[in-house]
Amino acid sequence: MTVDLAIFTVRGDQLMVLLIERGVEPFLGRAALPGGYVQKDETLRDGALRELWEEAQVDGGRLHLEQLGAYGDPWRDPRGRVVTIAYLALGPDLPTPVGGTDARRAYWAPVSEVINGVRELAFDHPAILADALEEVRRKLEYTAVAAAFCGETFTLSELRTVYEAVWGQYLDPSNFRRKVLKTEGFVRPTGERRLPPTGRPAALYRRGSADLLSPPLLRRVDES
Amino acid sequence: MTVDLAIFTVRGDQLMVLLIERGVEPFLGRAALPGGYVQKDETLRDGALRELWEEAQVDGGRLHLEQLGAYGDPWRDPRGRVVTIAYLALGPDLPTPVGGTDARRAYWAPVSEVINGVRELAFDHPAILADALEEVRRKLEYTAVAAAFCGETFTLSELRTVYEAVWGQYLDPSNFRRKVLKTEGFVRPTGERRLPPTGRPAALYRRGSADLLSPPLLRRVDES
DNA sequence: CCCCTAAAGGTCATATTGACTTAAACACCG
DNA sequence: CGGTGTTTAAGTCAATATGACCTTTAGGGG
């Protein structure tokens, strides 16, 4: 029984996922999602948090962590029957982590490159990553987790950039602002402002109390 | 490693869940969700389908089955560390199943009674059932699975009754009809009709090709 | 002091929803 | 054979939400 983690962050205007280069067999040297065995006395969530730290030196306290599901096809691991519980983590632009015990190194990779097959992942991690990606995209529609990608305080432009990076589509700044501000509990103004490199200062917000957005903030379906 | 099943159906105007009376220790004689050990050579889904049949003689071919998640707290099972993968199943009004090997008997119980604590479930099954219930309610909003509760063909009133039973709230028949019919791929007319005990004949539909509803069919939030 | 840029705020046509009303189709009853 | 009750089916209308687009504001830099 193992846990595997799909850890996402937004850097610049790209959605990134944390990958490791495996330092042990099987799939030695191959790219993979961080993860490892669950210990006997810990919860699945605690196991995920521990692996997060061991393999990538990422502190779980600051990021959103939720279970994605169990992957247990008998042939998914060449070593034999290994069921893995996949977790989804979202965090602000984190420092590039160093490798851990079972990982030669850890690094952020653009999700688009991994999905396109430019990098080949070990095990059934391509499927896990695909499911995780769809889940994040869906979560942004129906919940207020997008703020988990931002720092403690953020501007509405930063928040919009998160949506654009995750969904891969342009959003009208004005309509986005209207939707976010009139959705009760989405964000809470701090009263402070931040100066962009150029242009008018932007108001700063912090995450609100709401978890669900109703009505949701739907992405366009066409995407041609 | 086990699988547990939260199997729902709509009977009359009530949402029902399939329970078993445990025939073995621990929790002998207690009500529980059907489930059992996963075998070495089967997928998690196949294990769920097998347990479905063994413990409740329910044929999985006709119902919607999806994974809910993994429950793995170290103390959830008095026997020791047992991680269970919970599955959610939705089906039309099924015949009352007989008990299986590890179950003295199997029966349908109103979900409301179980949630209220009138019946106490074994293990952490109360939490699993609560999660399953919320998942069904959410699924009805964003997907077209509601038809899984109906037979091969059904009237719009039957479909609306499903929503009302699951959400526990009244829906305006006229607005429901408009929403369903104008949502592309939700239902497909068969051309036939069905005579109710009294009143105008109702057109029959079968499930359409759509999986997701966009925009979704949201339930009211207040429900006071 | 003017220009450029991004934030902030507004307009307007369109789509969707909730509450409500009206018409249609059948069985039953006298 | 026509009236009555019941359920399906269809329509109206105001309130709300959305997408596309425009104008104003508040900075920095030349």
DSSP B74-107: TTSSTTS---EEEEEEE-SSPPPPPP-SSEEEEE
Question: Per CA to C1' distance, which residue is closest to C19?
Answer: B172
> Looking at the DSSP assignment, which residues form a beta bridge with residue A178?
none
The Cα–Cα gap between B198 and B217 comes to 29
pLDDT computed for residue B222 by the predictor: 58
Whether B69 and A73 lie within 8 Å, measured CB to CB: no
Does residue B93 have a pLDDT over 90?
no
Q: pLDDT per residue over A149-186, tens digit each? A: 999 999 999 999 999 999 999 999 999 999 999 999 99
Structure-block tokens of residue B198: 């009294």
Report yes or no on A219 lying in a domain: no
Whether A98 and A182 have beta carbons less than 8 Å apart is answered as no
Report yes or no on B214 lying in a domain: no
Domain ranges, residue B184: 147-207
Domain edge (last residue) among B140, B157, B172? B140
Q: Based on the fold, state whether residues B30 and B119 are members of the same structural domain.
A: yes
Q: Based on the fold, state whether residues A135 and A160 are members of the same structural domain.
A: no
Chain A nearest-CA distance from B72, in A, is 6
Q: Based on the fold, state whether residues B31 and B56 are members of the same structural domain.
A: yes
Mean pLDDT of A55-68: 87
State the sign of the Cα–Cα–Cα–Cα dihedral B182, B187, B189, B192.
negative
Higher model confidence: residue B118 or residue A123? A123
Q: Distance from first CA to last CA of chain A, Å, rounded? A: 41
Proximity of residue A221 CB to strand D below 7 A: no
Mean pLDDT of B52-65: 85
Report yes or no on A49 lying in a domain: yes
Q: Based on the fold, state whether residues B105 and B159 are members of the same structural domain.
A: no
Proximity of residue A155 CB to strand C below 7 A: yes
Mean pLDDT of B98-110: 83
The number of CA neighbours under 13 Å toward the Cβ of B107 is 10
Report yes or no on B186 lying in a domain: yes
Q: Based on the fold, state whether residues A85 and A163 are members of the same structural domain.
A: no
Q: Based on the fold, state whether residues A57 and A132 are members of the same structural domain.
A: yes
The Cα–Cα gap between A211 and A145 comes to 7
Look up the CATH number of the domain holding residue B176.
1.10.10.10
Report yes or no on B219 lying in a domain: no
Domain edge (last residue) among A84, A118, A140? A140
Whether B109 and B16 have beta carbons less than 8 Å apart is answered as yes
**Domain count within chain B:** 2
Cβ-based contacts (< 7 Å) between A 189-208 and strand D:
193, 195, 198-201
Rounded mean pLDDT of chain A? 93
Look up the CATH number of the domain holding residue A122.
3.90.79.10
**What is the enclosing helix (H) or strand (E) of B21?**
strand B14-22
* Shortest-distance nucleotide from B178 CA to C1': D10
Q: Based on the fold, state whether residues B60 and B76 are members of the same structural domain.
A: yes
**Number of neighbouring beta carbons within 10 Å of residue A105:** 14
> B180 vs B78, B159, B160, B184, B208, CA distance in Å?
47, 10, 10, 8, 11
Interchain CB contact of B39 with A (< 8 Å) = no
Question: Per CA to C1' distance, which residue is closest to D10?
Answer: B174
Report yes or no on A112 lying in a domain: yes
Considering only the beta carbons, identify the residue of A69, A83, A218 that sits closest to B1. A83
Report yes or no on A163 lying in a domain: yes
Helix B173-182 × helix B156-167 angle, to 10° = 110
Proximity of residue A201 CB to strand C below 7 A: yes
Residue B3's nearest CA partner among B74, B92, B68 is B68
Q: Following CA atoms A23, A25, A28, A34 in sequence, which dihedral angle do they give, to the nearest 10 degrees?
A: -60
Chain B nearest-CA distance from A200, in A, is 35
The Cα–Cα gap between A99 and A23 comes to 9
> Can you tell me whether residue B72 is helix, strand or coil?
coil
Full-model pTM: 0.94
Interchain CB contact of A184 with B (< 8 Å) = no
> Looking at the DSSP assignment, which residues form a beta bridge with residue A153?
A206
Q: Based on the fold, state whether residues B68 and B175 are members of the same structural domain.
A: no
Report yes or no on B220 lying in a domain: no
Q: Based on the fold, state whether residues A124 and A167 are members of the same structural domain.
A: no
